[in-house]
Amino acid sequence: MDMTIDAVVVERMLEDSKGTKAEKLDEILDRAESLRGLAPEDVAALLTMDSQPHLARLFKIAGRIKEEIYGERIVMFAPLYVSDYCVNRCRYCGYSCDNKFDRRRLTLDEIRNEAEILERMGHKRLALEAGEDPVNCSIDYMLDAIRVIYNMKAGPGEIRRVNVNIAATTEENFKKLHDIGIGTYILFQETYHEPTYFRMHEAGPKRNFEYHLTAFDRAMRSGIDDVGGGVLFGLYDWRFEVLGLMLHNQHLDRTYGAGFHTISSPRLRPAAGMDMSEYENLLSDEDFKRVVATIRIAVPYTGMIISTRESAEMRRELIRLGISQVSGGSSVEVGGYAIRESGGEQFEVADSRSAMDIMRWLMDEKLVPSFCTACYRKGRTGDRFMSLAKSGNIKNVCLPNALMTLCEYMMDYGDEEFRLQAASLIDSNIPRIKSDNMRELTKGNIEKIKSGERDLFV
């Protein structure tokens, strides 16, 4: 059966969990600490509790899980917007069909050019983004775009993984996306609260709540086994939305053997044609941190993504609470890497630092920026990825791959100062690789990369 969600049932779960006794909260947090994840009912109790000591413990556990499972590595990616034509009228979105501006769809040459610019920034992993317009931005156009990106070779590197964030589509189209070799299919539910969904999505195909909600069922049936969920925080009550995500994750896990590969937590930002003061459910920074920490402990093996919608300071805090992937040097505008001027953004970004500045900043924090794309290329996707992750074995490959891709980056794109900083970070992290064999292999590969070999991964 496909995913369904009943707002009344979710509200009742939250209501029933209010006032959960301290001993029960202790027991839930004990379980979270053992990295086994939590059931939606447990998450409901954590979302509605107002005990400060338990909240402090929740944050602590999130930080510990982040360290234990993900260590110091942070995966880097960049969005690539190819078309802002859109037939939907979504109240919150700058691409809403009601907004009048000169819309663009990149030609294949322009897409190649954008991908080249991103490649010259050192990026290896992109999230392809587009508005929904079956005529101006058909599935065949998206497939051509992906083909062009994968075939592009300009500087020393290449784009090795294209994740796709486009509108919900048919099983047949998902099959085409699968066959061309996309990484993760990403789709934000925006809100799991059906009445709010209808209020926000005033017209267009996206107004169909059920079709949007069941997109991952069609994607999974078509063979895509890495799917990435998310909600747009600020549209409805954050507790409801986190529980919605958990119920969706449980459905995917039970039905297809793997829950979300990633969860994104975009927070509503100002955009053309919308007025932030109309939104009653905007989250405070404290509540937003609680959202990230709660998701972290509930689904410890799911990657968590934060974009440039958040400020540098907020991103610093969120990384410590469980974020494992960040975008950097991002433009949220069609053709934005070539022109770098504002006008057609989907929303305002809060962190406009370059990719290299973000990497320097991560390294200052003793974190290891990673351009790893190994799992997907080694076939470690879906349930295979999840079983490796749950057995704790995934980290045996994550740190080596992070160090090798950082080494590649420093050799190909870094200046003298960057190289010094990265080389010392690599040296100090090699002893952290637990397996003797893997440590030796990584050391050898780092030397090979320094002398010119590329794209080594385990």
For ligand SAM, give the closer residue by CB, 343 or 392: 343
Taking phi first (over 0 means left), then psi (-120 to 50 degrees means alpha), and beta for anything else, what does residue 392 get?
A: left
> Distance (Å, rounded) from C-alpha 68 to C-alpha 75?
16
CB 344 within 8 A of CB 105: no
Write down the least CB distance from residue 211 to ligand SAM, Å.
Answer: 11
Sequence-ordered list of residues with C-beta below 8 angstroms from that of 396, at least 6 positions apart, any chain? 433, 434, 435, 438
For ligand SAM, give the closer residue by CB, 69 or 128: 128
As to burial, measured by CB atoms within 10 angstroms (0-12 exposed, 13-18 middle, 19+ buried), residue 299 is buried
Write down the least CB distance from residue 399 to ligand SAM, Å.
Answer: 31
Write down the least CB distance from residue 189 to ligand SAM, Å.
Answer: 9
For ligand SAM, give the closer residue by CB, 44 or 186: 186
List contacts with ligand SAM (CB under 6 A).
Answer: 92-93, 129, 131-132, 165-167, 187-188, 190, 206, 232, 266, 268-269, 271, 309, 346-347
Write down the least CB distance from residue 129 to ligand SAM, Å.
Answer: 4
The beta strand positions in 279-324, using DSSP E, are: 303-306
For ligand SAM, give the closer residue by CB, 192 or 347: 347
For ligand SAM, give the closer residue by CB, 20 or 83: 83
Instruction: Classify strands 303-306 and 73-83 as parallel, antiparallel or unpaired.
Output: unpaired
Write down the least CB distance from residue 362 to ligand SAM, Å.
Answer: 23
Torsion, Cα of 274, 279, 284, 290 (10° steps): -110
Any long-range contacts for 94-99 (C-beta under 8 Å, 24+ apart)?
Answer: 94/271, 94/272, 94/273, 94/274, 94/344, 94/345, 94/346, 94/347, 95/131, 95/346, 96/273, 96/274, 97/203, 97/204, 98/273, 99/272, 99/273
Q: What are phi and psi of 190, to 5 degrees?
A: 70, -65
Q: How many CB atoms lie within 10 A of CB 290?
A: 22
Tally: H helices and E strands in the chain: 20, 11
For ligand SAM, give the closer residue by CB, 92 or 236: 92
For ligand SAM, give the closer residue by CB, 81 or 409: 81
For ligand SAM, give the closer residue by CB, 165 or 405: 165
Write down the least CB distance from residue 334 to ligand SAM, Å.
Answer: 10
> Distance (Å, rounded) from C-alpha 375 to C-alpha 373?
6
Write down the least CB distance from residue 412 to ligand SAM, Å.
Answer: 29
Q: What are phi and psi of 215, to 5 degrees?
A: -60, -40
> Distance (Å, rounded) from C-alpha 63 to C-alpha 71?
10
Write down the least CB distance from residue 188 to ligand SAM, Å.
Answer: 4
Write down the least CB distance from residue 268 to ligand SAM, Å.
Answer: 5
Q: What's the sign of the alpha-carbon dihedral 110, 369, 379, 211?
A: negative
Q: How many CB atoms lie within 10 A of CB 295?
A: 24
For ligand SAM, give the closer residue by CB, 303 or 414: 303
